[in-house]
Amino acid sequence: MTVQRPQNRPLAPFPVTEPRASGLLEVGDGHRIYWEDCGAPDGIPVVYVHGGPGAGCAPVHRSFFDPSVYRVILFDQRGAGRSKPYAAWNDNTTAHLVADMETLRTHLGIDQWLLFGGSWGSTLALAYGQAHPQCSLGFILRGIFLFRQREVDWFIHGMGRFFPEAAADFFGALSPEERQDPLMAYYRQLTDPDPAVHGLAARRWAGFEDACARLIPSVSPLSGVPGPDGRIEGLAIARLEAHYMAHAGFLEEGQLLRDIGRIRHLPCTIVQGRYDVICPPETAADLHRAWPESRLVMVPDAGHSALEPGIRAELMQALQDFATGVRGVG
């Protein structure tokens, strides 16, 4: 079923509550992932799977969830956010992240949880669910990215058709030879040990993506220089996105659609912005076609960001609908 609602925004964000518990969990290979546990201790467990890879979680992400209904688990994937080491790409693959999620679930004593993720978060949520369907309650997904080669090619070569000014900055820093394979050129720069090299590359990569992320683009450029804590703004998302794209997401081509039968019995709502330039709607339509039991909600006045009003409202509505189905709440 595909739904396109009228432009009605009845749901307001919930207050940003403080975590009841948080910590750093050892997951091997020198990585420790940051996690936090929010909301109702006996609520419906839900895990927030952030985008990127490398984007990390922020306090605002707690505001999607009714803290009286949901037990909300947020975590920063390897190399992202408050996880350590920052922006590390060693031993960082989809299989590692799926295993980390399972380690975290077991550590927190959760039997099953709802998967809530957007963009790369939808990729990882699907990969986790297909690996561990018995641990999954269902899916609420946004801005679908399945890591097929054509989706990577669109990110590198297609988005700039809509945002040529941002593309000019993205490609303008590359030599004519590097422009023959801009992904690998950026990957080399982003993994260069010199902060002057990888910092500038991070600014250009993350700035390109950020410029394309909303119906009304952001006008706040990334600095690409170290902050007070020594971290370079945008480095984790730029470096890890390039790392994953250079390795086809560490997935087989079409894998997530091929293995959809492992989770088709579970409920799924897909929220998609009509004008999402980073993850165009055709990918959400492909997932819905492969998973006809899912519900596809097309937001008519939104791009990619989960924080755009229409996207946020539909994600919150999907959470309310799920809770109603599970507990009769709402």
Q: Catalytic residue numbers? A: 119, 276, 304
The CA-CA-CA angle for residues 46, 64, 271, to 5°, reads: 85
Length of the chain: 330
Q: Phi/psi of residue 166, each to 5°?
A: -65, -40
H helices within 158-252, ranges in order?
164-172, 182-190, 195-211, 235-246
Pairwise CA distance, residues 186 & 193, whole Å: 13
- CA distances for 117 relative to 74, 231, 321, angstroms: 11, 25, 16
Q: Phi/psi of residue 194, each to 5°?
A: -80, 120
Pairwise CA distance, residues 190 & 120, whole Å: 19
- Contacts of 286-291 with CB under 8 Å at 24 or more apart are 286/144, 286/146, 286/257, 287/141, 287/144, 287/146, 287/256, 287/257, 287/260, 288/2, 290/257, 290/260, 291/260, 291/263, 291/264
